[in-house]
Amino acid sequence: MPSGIQIRNLCFSYTPDVPVLKNVTLDINPGERFGLIGPSGAGKSTLLLHLNGILTGSGEVKIGDTPVDKKSLAEIRKKVGMVFQNPDDQLFNPTVEEDIAFGPLNFGFSRELVASRVKDALAAMNLAGFEKSVSHHLSLGERKRVALATVLAISPEVIAFDEPFSSLDPSMVLQLISLIGGLDATIVIVSQSFLPLISCCDRLAVLKEGKIIAVGPKDEIVRDEEMMKASGMDLSLYRNICREYFSK
């Protein structure tokens, strides 16, 4: 059973006197697909980085029953996989295969288990045949798929994605939505790709200037036009395009 996430009164600043997260309290249910939206600079990536202890603010973050703190870091890194916005922050081995094997090897998995995890992760991301490719020679979209494969290979209970849909072509976006739907994990996604995001998530939270201003089922959030506009996200572009080109 995947873990849920509990965030209580989380505050964080990169520089003193410039608060970025302001008293964030949020519950994400085990196995849920949860989306975090908000304008650029709202603090979405910063919040995500607290889920596996890359950043630690004041307040509390718990993954299941485990508080994220210095003592639990090794355990938390096994439980929470982070797919970074920029795959180059994730890929540092010479080949795709070595990048994907890195996590499982690091966790001391047996040789057989590492091999099967690598194979499954490659297959899930449509990367069979890329084993010996040099990661930094691949296209950005391909590197994003390898980055996700490195996380799938450790089979974490929680997977946090920062802008997973950017630089993917439409059919890869569809494939990723379907892959995310099939993962046995709690999923947290930060994305400005609004349409793919709402199609994957059950609930959404809206972050504005470091504060959660709305949380709820996606239908409620997306239909709350006034709140969405006030948060700095005018969705009329999507609505108009859908009406003009995709409705009968």
Ligand X SMILES: Nc1ncnc2c1ncn2[C@@H]1O[C@H](COP(=O)(O)OP(=O)(O)O)[C@@H](O)[C@H]1O
Binding site for ligand X (CB under 6 A): 14, 20, 38, 40-46
φ, ψ for residue 186 (rounded to 5)?
-85, 130
Contacts of 1 (CB under 8 A, 6+ apart): 30, 31
Which run of H or E residues covers position 152? helix 140-152
Closest contact distance (angstroms) between CB of 38 and ligand X is: 6
Closest contact distance (angstroms) between CB of 153 and ligand X is: 26
Q: Which long-range contacts (CB under 8 A, 24 or more apart) does 107-115 make?
A: 107/78, 107/154
Nearer to ligand X among residue 117 and residue 144 (C-beta):
144
Neighbours of 240 (CB within 10 A): 10
Nearer to ligand X among residue 40 and residue 171 (C-beta):
40
Task: Write out the binding residues for Mg ion, residues 38-67 only, by CB under 5 A.
Answer: 45
- For residue 144, the partner it binds in Mg ion, ligand X, none, with Cβ less than 5 to 8 A by kind, is none
Nearer to Mg ion among residue 37 and residue 114 (C-beta):
37
Nearer to ligand X among residue 30 and residue 59 (C-beta):
59
- For residue 187, the partner it binds in ligand X, Mg ion, none, with Cβ less than 5 to 8 A by kind, is none
Contacts of 200 (CB under 8 A, 6+ apart): 33, 35, 177, 180, 181, 187, 189
Binding residues for Mg ion (CB under 5 A) = 45
